Amino acid sequence: MSEERARTLGVVLFPGFETLDVFGPVEMFGSLPGAVEIRMVAERPGVVQSAQGVAVHVDHVFADCPRLDLLLVPGGFGTRAEADNTALIGWLTERAAAAERAMTVCTGTALLARTGLLDGRRATTNKMFFDWVASHGPRVEWVKQARWVADGRFVTSSGVSAGMDMALAVIAELWGQPLAERVALATEYEWHRDAGWDPFARAHGLV
């Protein structure tokens, strides 16, 4: 792993993002020293406050963001406003199209759906807000019961904690299952390895 070029993971921040949507996956990818460089990216410089009040420092704004191999789009109540943010959607369209893997957590899938890149592809999202997210991608093949869905370079996940399962699945794909298992063990995380495991779809009346 140390002989490979480090991949750069860009995490998109916006006011009102969900804290665990960001830091759950960041914990997993950040457990790969020398393999992943993590950069926080936002429309404006400074700090961005999550829905839970945590302020996160921005490394790059859209205009000076370097090449990204991996892209992570969190959800949160802030997605309601960002779905109509043409600057964010335009930047996301360009960067997600070029990324090796573009990942979303929770309602962050609505932002990726707005780019049109998910049209004709399978995707999922937070089950509590499923209909709202799906309204932003009428040509997306929405999967109601799934912990996460991988379709080509795009990987979308269900609500909040599902991002960690998705991140480990991507780690297993790009760096191998044994490494993903070691990360889950090191973080003492009970990894749901089955992408179809989703009791929350039933709890919210989707199936």
Question: Which domains does the chain possess?
Answer: 7-198 (3.40.50.880)
| Cα dihedral across residues 106, 110, 131, 173: positive or negative | negative
**Residue in 43, 39, 5 with CA at minimum distance from that of residue 22:** 39
CA angle 129, 110, 203 (to 5 degrees): 25
Q: What's the distance, CA 57 to chain centroid?
A: 18
Check pLDDT > 50 for residue 187.
Answer: yes
Answer for the pair 156, 124: CB distance below 8 angstroms, yes or no.
yes
The secondary element (H helix, E strand) that includes residue 122 is strand 122-123
pTM: 0.97
Mean pLDDT of the chain: 97
Q: In this predicted model, what pLDDT tens digit does every residue of 193-206 receive, in sequence order?
A: 999 999 999 999 99
16 Ramachandran zone, left/alpha/beta (phi>0; psi -120 to 50): left
Reported as a pLDDT band with limits 50, 70 and 90, residue 2 is very low
- Mean pLDDT score, 146-155: 98
What's the pLDDT at 169?
98
The amino acid that residue 36 corresponds to is V
**Residue in 75, 74, 202 with CA at minimum distance from that of residue 145:** 202
Q: In this predicted model, what pLDDT tens digit does every residue of 26-42 receive, in sequence order?
A: 999 999 989 999 999 99
Reported as a pLDDT band with limits 50, 70 and 90, residue 24 is very high
What's the pLDDT at 4?
76
What's the pLDDT at 72?
99
- Helix spans in 35-85 (H): 79-82
The amino acid that residue 31 corresponds to is S
User: Which positions are catalytic?
Assistant: 106
Check pLDDT > 70 for residue 143.
Answer: yes
- Mean pLDDT score, 96-110: 98
Q: Which two tokens stand for residue 158?
A: 């269900």
Q: What share of the chain in percent tops pLDDT 70?
A: 99
- Mean pLDDT score, 136-161: 98
Sheet strands (E) in 25-94: 36-42, 47-49, 55-57, 60-61, 70-73
Place of tokens 């509590």: 128
Check pLDDT > 90 for residue 5.
Answer: no
The amino acid that residue 129 corresponds to is F
